[in-house]
Amino acid sequence: MREISKETLDALATQAIELPSWAFGNAGTRFKVFTTPGTPRTIQEKLADAAQVNRLTGLAPSVALHIPWDLVDDYTKLSEYAQDLGVRLGTINSNTFQDDAYKFGSLTNVDPRIRQKAIDHHYECIDVMHATGSEDLKIWLPDGTNYPGQGDIRGRQDRLADSLQKIYDRLGDEQRLVLEYKIFEPYFYTMDVPDWGTSYAHVTALGERAFVCLDTGHHAPSTNIEFIVAQLLRLGRLGSFDFNSRFYADDDLIVGSADPFQLFRILFEVVRGGGMEAGSPVRFMLDQCHNIEDKIPGQIRSVLNVQEMTARALLVDQPALRAAQDAGDVLAANAVFMDAFYTDVRPALAEWRESRGLPADPIAAYAKSGYAQVIVGERVGGTQAGWGA
Amino acid sequence: MREISKETLDALATQAIELPSWAFGNAGTRFKVFTTPGTPRTIQEKLADAAQVNRLTGLAPSVALHIPWDLVDDYTKLSEYAQDLGVRLGTINSNTFQDDAYKFGSLTNVDPRIRQKAIDHHYECIDVMHATGSEDLKIWLPDGTNYPGQGDIRGRQDRLADSLQKIYDRLGDEQRLVLEYKIFEPYFYTMDVPDWGTSYAHVTALGERAFVCLDTGHHAPSTNIEFIVAQLLRLGRLGSFDFNSRFYADDDLIVGSADPFQLFRILFEVVRGGGMEAGSPVRFMLDQCHNIEDKIPGQIRSVLNVQEMTARALLVDQPALRAAQDAGDVLAANAVFMDAFYTDVRPALAEWRESRGLPADPIAAYAKSGYAQVIVGERVGGTQAGWGA
Amino acid sequence: MREISKETLDALATQAIELPSWAFGNAGTRFKVFTTPGTPRTIQEKLADAAQVNRLTGLAPSVALHIPWDLVDDYTKLSEYAQDLGVRLGTINSNTFQDDAYKFGSLTNVDPRIRQKAIDHHYECIDVMHATGSEDLKIWLPDGTNYPGQGDIRGRQDRLADSLQKIYDRLGDEQRLVLEYKIFEPYFYTMDVPDWGTSYAHVTALGERAFVCLDTGHHAPSTNIEFIVAQLLRLGRLGSFDFNSRFYADDDLIVGSADPFQLFRILFEVVRGGGMEAGSPVRFMLDQCHNIEDKIPGQIRSVLNVQEMTARALLVDQPALRAAQDAGDVLAANAVFMDAFYTDVRPALAEWRESRGLPADPIAAYAKSGYAQVIVGERVGGTQAGWGA
Amino acid sequence: MREISKETLDALATQAIELPSWAFGNAGTRFKVFTTPGTPRTIQEKLADAAQVNRLTGLAPSVALHIPWDLVDDYTKLSEYAQDLGVRLGTINSNTFQDDAYKFGSLTNVDPRIRQKAIDHHYECIDVMHATGSEDLKIWLPDGTNYPGQGDIRGRQDRLADSLQKIYDRLGDEQRLVLEYKIFEPYFYTMDVPDWGTSYAHVTALGERAFVCLDTGHHAPSTNIEFIVAQLLRLGRLGSFDFNSRFYADDDLIVGSADPFQLFRILFEVVRGGGMEAGSPVRFMLDQCHNIEDKIPGQIRSVLNVQEMTARALLVDQPALRAAQDAGDVLAANAVFMDAFYTDVRPALAEWRESRGLPADPIAAYAKSGYAQVIVGERVGGTQAGWGA
């Protein structure tokens, strides 16, 4: 059993996990989207909910926006609104999966007009970034095909490279392009950015401010994700995480809920590769949607899971680990590693939270706060936010 | 290269593949449902579209209904309407995945009132069956949980057994209960009927008129599906197929499109196990939804894929295969098997179709028929059918 | 954080985990079997090593034998030898995968003489059981095929059923037949007992003393194993576990090392389903082979992993869990579940061990014992035990 | 149904598929290696067997060697021996998986002496290449770890990069380094080159004569392999294929036997990406080991499978496909694609073979040749070749 040191707590104090605005709206499967009272109707209400998470955990100082879901007329005003709530606007996420024009591709489409439309959408996102001060443009490319022969795999890559270059060239000097990959869905035969290798090949071709986004739910079964983390850190191209977890496909469950040990291994490689150090290019975000559980406590649970597991990763006795590794003592090395994982960090973190003016138990504090009751009472009428709006 | 014999053609002539009414409505992913002009707005229009498939292929004499999507006041009238179109009403599919009440389960719910509501829904389906003369009540149970601890796995099974018994006991003497299984989705941790073993255990407990439905898209990666087909036929409990295909999860692609050789192996086991013989309990159905391809030609392509692959399965030189198997000649046995698969049955089937008064090329005939243009012109206004209605 | 109660400790005190004799011999991949000094050359030396594990943990009172690897002339004498070491002989495992005759099948072979040879081998195993007092005959059937068409899937099942019946009928009244399943390997297209459904269908046909053996490493990717545990307990047919863990295929790693949370979920279902209660038919065994780690401490680590995780499973606050489940409070139910998992039970178990006259840290105690040095010195010459002998 | 054109036959006439010497020796699983009479005992006998495959198919003009399995004193003499048999020596494969020194890594080992030993082994391989005139040094790196914490993932990559650079720098100007990747086995937690992205990152760092080797059996379940083919061709880094097929893991089955349609899609991307054109860097090889089927006819079947499927890939009506793709006609594009796949090319290829002085049916010709009987009679005594020698 390991003791949490002051160094560990100092490292934890710098951790920030960005929340996705869309986590507070309704989400579901193709079969059913369950609705709940109190669901936000506007980006302002999403920000208010996100601010609750930050207020109770101190972990979530920024909120990612999704364009066009979070389109407003005045982003300066929205930024100020966020600041008043104690949060700031973060990554801008583009969306090319909800327009009929993109049925056969957006940045990869054979039709140059549709490609330009998709490029223009990203220019619009960059405009939003300038208005909000956002650093990252995140592109999750939903393009792909459903049937063998349907599209020209090679031609689609060439067009993608061209489209990405046009977007990248529009970025300001302090802005980054972060390219996410996903093995399948919404297309079921090919995806145009299915794996980290494809994302890596594209971002290295683009330039130094292009990075890979690793979404933990977007891999083939039995992929060793922490290896990819270590490799991308080594190559200097790990830009950000989209945290979530899954048992099967892109299940979008609470980070750490399906395989807590995997989350530990991932965060250990982040620590090992310098991803927690000042100046690291790595950003942490959640990207998960709550189908049946309550949304605000779901996000609180999520950031706490990341924090607790980061604490365990920081607890690993690195000199002892290195010594066992160098000696070829498999069982001893594994034991050092597991010792940190099995240590119950929760009491020490609760105490530390209180020392920083935060509730020891943020979930309980939320329940006591009455916030849920207030929003249920206030948010009557209007259209609940969801993926369609 | 094998020649198609008269026996093969005679066997093919008896093949019937039920179409799902919902294949003609809009479908998509949780990200986007693309709409198309000409999509049916009513069950009558769905039946009209299904009848086109049957008219051009002679393969699809019946249409499965989904309750409540296809609810009408008068099923006698609907049956007559179908008969006039040259088809009949087939399997009745229940639906317990689109009501807010079922968020935490339907037939497995801890709340006896919700269980009763779900049971009553199946009683209603049985009423429809009596009105339509349908033989099969198909239950795809969408119940499950998303998080470890969320539900009591064991208790849910016990309640499921109880609910199924109540439904089974209501069936008429000529009616069957067919229980489908699915590994995941819409729930992401447990499904209450995730595999053939669970379905088999339940149907054997119910009685002799309960069978397993095998949906080809509902298995874990690398599952040997034809083995399950052979086993269920041996155990006398294979009730029906839901045909479709997939590369990843429940992708709902056109049957035979992702792995034609797998479809061949499945149909070979059907033939081997007596599933093509008169009196066999096995029914063939499609259960696939077209996201981006045209719906009517998509269904035509699907039934033709099943027919062509059945022809190849029937072509296998069984005595030569048995001889090679018994001699332990691995390569020879595999060669006999592959010879049938690689034989191009299409020209002979086209000729045979013409000899029976059907178009040699049903896809081309559909294109020439002008039907697509007619429905685009006629089906203006109203609400296009989809999973929600 | 949960406190370990006296009831929990009492339940733990009854836990017994059988060790496989073959875990102490050399094992490896098809690419390489690494050898190590001190590896046993005889079953007597394997028993001596196994006894060390039991002496230090109090958890492993019996040792499973593998026939013919552990064939001796006099089993009465071997039993006495084991007793003197403080252990007893347990499950008898048959072996039909290392004789050239079984290339195309053993219990399923088309040749009746080869089937009889395989049946006779099991009769011989039953004779050993009578001599040793073993209760369980465990059959892992390695039969299968590598190529489509190579074998007749259906015929092989029929022959298997017949062979199993002959073996079952030979068992004594106190003896059980336990049938293991495995998705693939050593055959790569079909396995004749690939899944729990197949094993279940066979054992229910055999009779009341036939059970399913669940090997945790033998499933398709993303299979929910704890569901199968719950289902088999409900059906009264879970006979035993073969514990191990894996990231990919049948990797044979130390139980709990790849996914500790999965082991927790499995053991929770064991507790929930009565598998820890007196009179339960469920037996715990290890079946894992150490390729690169030291064998004796590897087995010590393994039984401790099972014990520690069982402690966590017993810690779950069942009334609180049930209340949250019944209320449909997904996050609260999951929190109750995770609270037990994240509780560090190691200090309390170390203390409890000492109170029972066992070392607080069995791994450290083994290192200090000098046993490893002794066997390296003594076991010189001869042939190290492995899968081939 | 498509007709085979003269252009297609001309393209096929240039196809060459390298055979692995080790395919003619014994191979098996960790459970059992079955032996057969007539198995070669020396590299000379392996070459003789390989020459039979080439004599009957005209498809396999070269043989890959595995060092040290195929070590001889005089490679000039061995080359002449091969030439007399009508074949030549091809790729040199290194082996760092069968020496006790490499238990914890070879090119990645923490011990610089062991790393140097592994580098020296590759220098020795390069010496062999100079003697044989081989162009390619193929490295399949078997390094990895079995347990979390066992090794330092990042440090292993850094050492690997350094070791590879030392090997690459030793290559002659006409020689290439080809780096294979594999998801798992012989290690079960991490592999040091697990995916195409890792191999690509290393070979681009090395220089222009470093390429990726794609082994079709080495991917996670549901990986889209043809996408990787298209991507690597686009990036100019696809060096060679190791062909085989599998249902589960690295099953090593006959290429095209598990999923013929996948092989078609792969070869279509090869054609599409210029991999069949003169000057392409892509080489075709088999890498499969026959466990239970006869070895020489197994290799004949394999090269014929590649040839037949290449013929189908060349048959695709590219202008029609492009037109349907550009029109967004999903079903028409797929139909063009499938038309080629379903065309039975076997009769035309048999005829063409005869026109070139080859047997129409190479498998039957082999059976008639009496070669099998001759080698069974001659190869008595000695040690049959296998992975260990």
Please answer whether residues D91 and D46 qualify as being in contact, where contact means their C-beta atoms are separated by less than 8 angstroms: no
Sign of CA dihedral C24, C25, C28, C33: positive
Secondary structure letter of residue B208 according to DSSP: T
DSSP assignment of D108-150 equals T-SSHHHHHHHHHHHHHHHHHHHHHT--EEEEE---EESSTTS
Two structure tokens written together for C354:
């000492």
Beta-carbon pairs below 8 A across chains B and C: 148
Q: Tell me which of B96, B103, B247 to substitute to probe the interface with A (most A C-beta atoms closer than 10 Å).
A: B247
Residue D260 predicted with pLDDT over 90: yes
What is this model's ipTM?
A: 0.97
Beta-carbon pairs below 8 A across chains A and D: 149
SS3 B61: coil
Q: With left for phi above 0 and alpha for psi between -120 and 50, is residue D329 left, alpha or beta? A: beta
Q: Is residue D57 one of the residues assigned to a domain?
A: yes
Here the CATH number for the domain that contains residue D277 is: 3.20.20.150
Residue type, B293: E
What is d(CA B142, CA D264) in angstroms, rounded to the nearest whole number? 36
Q: What is the pLDDT of residue D2?
A: 87
Q: With left for phi above 0 and alpha for psi between -120 and 50, is residue A252 left, alpha or beta? A: left
Q: Please choose, from the candidates B99, B187, B96, B194, the residue with its C-alpha nearest in 3D space to the C-alpha of residue B147.
A: B187
CA C285 to chain B, closest CA, distance in angstroms equals 23
Q: Under an 8 A CB cutoff, do C231 and B336 touch?
A: no
With CA atoms as reference, the chain D residue closest to C221 would be D221
SS3 B137: strand
Phi, psi (degrees; rounded to nearest 5) at C83 = -60, -40
Q: Is residue C3 one of the residues assigned to a domain?
A: no
Chain B residue numbers touching A255 (CB-CB < 8 A): none
Q: Under an 8 A CB cutoff, do A188 and B257 touch?
A: no
Q: What is the pLDDT of residue A288?
A: 94
With CA atoms as reference, the chain D residue closest to B343 would be D344
Residue B237 predicted with pLDDT over 70: yes
Secondary structure letter of residue B165 according to DSSP: H
Q: With left for phi above 0 and alpha for psi between -120 and 50, is residue A31 left, alpha or beta? A: alpha
Q: Under an 8 A CB cutoff, do A1 and C347 touch?
A: yes
Q: With left for phi above 0 and alpha for psi between -120 and 50, is residue B256 left, alpha or beta? A: left
With CA atoms as reference, the chain B residue closest to D350 would be B1
* Mean pLDDT taken over chain B: 97
Q: Which chains touch B (3 or more CB pairs under 8 A)?
A: A, C, D
Q: What is the pLDDT of residue C388?
A: 61
Two structure tokens written together for B163:
């609910």
Q: Is residue B197 one of the residues assigned to a domain?
A: yes
Q: Which chains touch A (3 or more CB pairs under 8 A)?
A: B, C, D
Question: D160: part of which helix (H) or strand (E)?
Answer: helix D153-170
Using one digit for the tens of pLDDT, what is the confidence trace for A77-100? Answer: 999 999 999 999 999 999 999 999
Q: Is residue D352 one of the residues assigned to a domain?
A: no
Q: What is the pLDDT of residue A389?
A: 43
Size (chain C), residues: 389
Q: Under an 8 A CB cutoff, do B247 and D342 touch?
A: no
What is d(CA C261, CA C247) in angstroms, rounded to the nearest whole number? 13
CA B180 to chain C, closest CA, distance in angstroms equals 15
Q: Is residue A44 one of the residues assigned to a domain?
A: yes
Q: Is residue D383 one of the residues assigned to a domain?
A: no
SS3 B240: strand
- Split at pLDDT 50, 70, 90, the class of B2 is confident
| Number of domains into which chain B is organized | 1
Q: What is the pLDDT of residue B1?
A: 74
Q: Under an 8 A CB cutoff, do D184 and C249 touch?
A: yes
Q: What is the pLDDT of residue A387?
A: 79
Residue C219, CA distances (Å) to A161, C222, C238, D57, D245 in order = 40, 8, 16, 40, 21
The answer for residues whose C-beta is within 8 angstroms of residue D363's C-beta and 6 or more apart is B331, B335, D297, D300, D301, D304
CA B259 to chain D, closest CA, distance in angstroms equals 7
- Split at pLDDT 50, 70, 90, the class of D251 is confident
Q: Under an 8 A CB cutoff, do D30 and C293 touch?
A: no
Q: Under an 8 A CB cutoff, do D186 and C29 touch?
A: yes
Q: Under an 8 A CB cutoff, do A186 and B147 touch?
A: no
Q: What is the pLDDT of residue A71?
A: 94
Chain A residue numbers touching B251 (CB-CB < 8 A): 146, 184, 188
Residue B389 predicted with pLDDT over 50: no
Q: Using only the alpha carbons of chain A, give its radius of gyration.
A: 21
Q: What is the pLDDT of residue D280?
A: 97
Helices (H), chain B: 6-13, 43-57, 75-84, 112-132, 153-170, 196-206, 225-235, 260-272, 295-315, 318-326, 330-342, 346-355, 362-369, 371-378
Return the bridge partners of B283, or none.
B240
SS3 C214: strand
With CA atoms as reference, the chain C residue closest to D253 would be C146
Q: What is the pLDDT of residue A114?
A: 98
Two structure tokens written together for D40:
């070669």
What is d(CA C198, CA C51) in angstroms, rounded to the nearest whole number? 36
The answer for residues whose C-beta is within 8 angstroms of residue A269's C-beta and 6 or more apart is A226, A227, A229, A230, A233, A275, D153, D154
DSSP assignment of C360-376 equals SSHHHHHHHH-HHHHHH
CA C246 to chain D, closest CA, distance in angstroms equals 7
With CA atoms as reference, the chain D residue closest to C254 would be D147
CA C142 to chain D, closest CA, distance in angstroms equals 9
Please answer whether residues C18 and C213 qualify as being in contact, where contact means their C-beta atoms are separated by less than 8 angstroms: no
Q: Under an 8 A CB cutoff, do A189 and B142 touch?
A: no
- Which of D261, D308, D330 is opposite residue B259, by nearest beta carbon? D261
Q: Under an 8 A CB cutoff, do A149 and D336 touch?
A: yes
Q: Is residue B99 one of the residues assigned to a domain?
A: yes
The answer for residues whose C-beta is within 8 angstroms of residue D96's C-beta and 6 or more apart is D102, D106, D107, D118, D121, D141, D142, D143
Q: Is residue C42 one of the residues assigned to a domain?
A: yes
Secondary structure letter of residue C24 according to DSSP: G
Chain D residue numbers touching B343 (CB-CB < 8 A): 344
Q: What share of chain D is helix, strand, coil (3-state, %, to 5)?
A: 45, 15, 40
Q: Please choose, from the candidates D98, D176, D112, the residue with its C-alpha nearest in 3D space to the C-alpha of residue D142.
A: D98
What is d(CA A304, CA C294) in angstroms, rounded to the nearest whole number? 37
Residue B14 predicted with pLDDT over 80: yes
> What domain range includes position D277?
15-316+358-378
Q: With left for phi above 0 and alpha for psi between -120 and 50, is residue A161 left, alpha or beta? A: alpha
Please answer whether residues B159 and B114 qualify as being in contact, where contact means their C-beta atoms are separated by less than 8 angstroms: no
User: Tens place of pLDDT for every residue, chain C, 389 residues?
Assistant: 788 999 999 999 999 999 999 999 999 999 999 999 999 999 999 999 999 999 999 999 999 999 999 999 999 999 999 999 999 999 999 999 999 999 999 999 999 999 999 999 999 999 999 999 999 999 999 999 999 999 999 999 999 999 999 999 999 999 999 999 999 999 999 999 999 999 999 999 999 999 999 999 999 999 999 999 999 999 999 999 999 999 999 989 999 999 999 999 999 999 999 999 999 999 999 999 899 999 999 999 999 999 999 999 999 999 999 999 999 999 999 999 999 999 999 999 999 999 999 999 999 999 999 999 999 999 999 999 987 64
Please answer whether residues D345 and A162 qualify as being in contact, where contact means their C-beta atoms are separated by less than 8 angstroms: no
Q: Tell me which of C331, C345, C346, C366 to substitute to probe the interface with A (most A C-beta atoms closer than 10 Å).
A: C331
Using one digit for the tens of pLDDT, what is the confidence trace for A99-118? Answer: 999 999 999 999 999 999 99
SS3 C213: strand
Two structure tokens written together for B197:
């073993």
Q: What share of chain C is helix, strand, coil (3-state, %, to 5)?
A: 45, 15, 40
Dihedral angle at the C-alpha atoms of A175, A179, D272, D329, nearest 10 degrees? -100
Q: Tell me which of B330, B334, B337, B343 to substitute to probe the interface with D (most D C-beta atoms closer than 10 Å).
A: B330
Chain A residue numbers touching B103 (CB-CB < 8 A): 34, 292
- Which of B100, B104, B248 is opposite residue A188, by nearest beta carbon? B248
Q: What is the pLDDT of residue C389?
A: 43
How much is the average pLDDT of A207-225?
A: 98
Q: CB count, 10 Å around CB of C227?
A: 25
CA B280 to chain C, closest CA, distance in angstroms equals 16
Dihedral angle at the C-alpha atoms of A342, A343, A349, A351, nearest 10 degrees? 140
Stated pTM of the model: 0.98
Helices (H), chain C: 6-13, 43-57, 75-84, 112-132, 153-170, 196-206, 225-235, 260-272, 295-315, 318-326, 330-342, 346-355, 362-369, 371-378
Q: Under an 8 A CB cutoff, do B331 and D222 touch?
A: no
Crossing angle between the packed helical segments B295-315 and B260-272, to the nearest 10 degrees: 50
Task: HSE, CB side, 13 Å, CA atoms: give it for residue C277.
Answer: 8
Q: Please choose, from the candidates A188, A86, A77, the residue with its C-alpha nearest in 3D space to the C-alpha of residue A142.
A: A188
Q: What is the pLDDT of residue A66?
A: 97
Beta-carbon pairs below 8 A across chains A and C: 59
- Which of D248, D331, D347 is opposite residue B298, by nearest beta carbon? D331
Chain C residue numbers touching A341 (CB-CB < 8 A): 260
Q: Please choose, from the candidates A318, A87, A372, the residue with its C-alpha nearest in 3D space to the C-alpha of residue C331.
A: A372
What is d(CA C80, CA D143) in angstroms, rounded to the nearest whole number? 44
What is d(CA B358, CA C355) in angstroms, rounded to the nearest whole number? 85
Residue type, D203: V
CA C33 to chain D, closest CA, distance in angstroms equals 8
Chain D residues whose C-beta is within 8 A of a chain B C-beta are 1, 221-222, 224, 247-248, 257, 259-262, 292-294, 297-298, 301, 308, 330-331, 334-335, 341-344, 346-347, 363
CA A251 to chain B, closest CA, distance in angstroms equals 6
CA C177 to chain D, closest CA, distance in angstroms equals 23
Chain D residue numbers touching B307 (CB-CB < 8 A): none
Q: Under an 8 A CB cutoff, do A154 and D330 touch?
A: no
Question: D79: part of which helix (H) or strand (E)?
Answer: helix D75-85
Residue D389 predicted with pLDDT over 70: no
Using one digit for the tens of pLDDT, what is the confidence trace for D163-173? Answer: 999 999 999 99
How far is C-alpha D80 from the chain's CA centre? 23
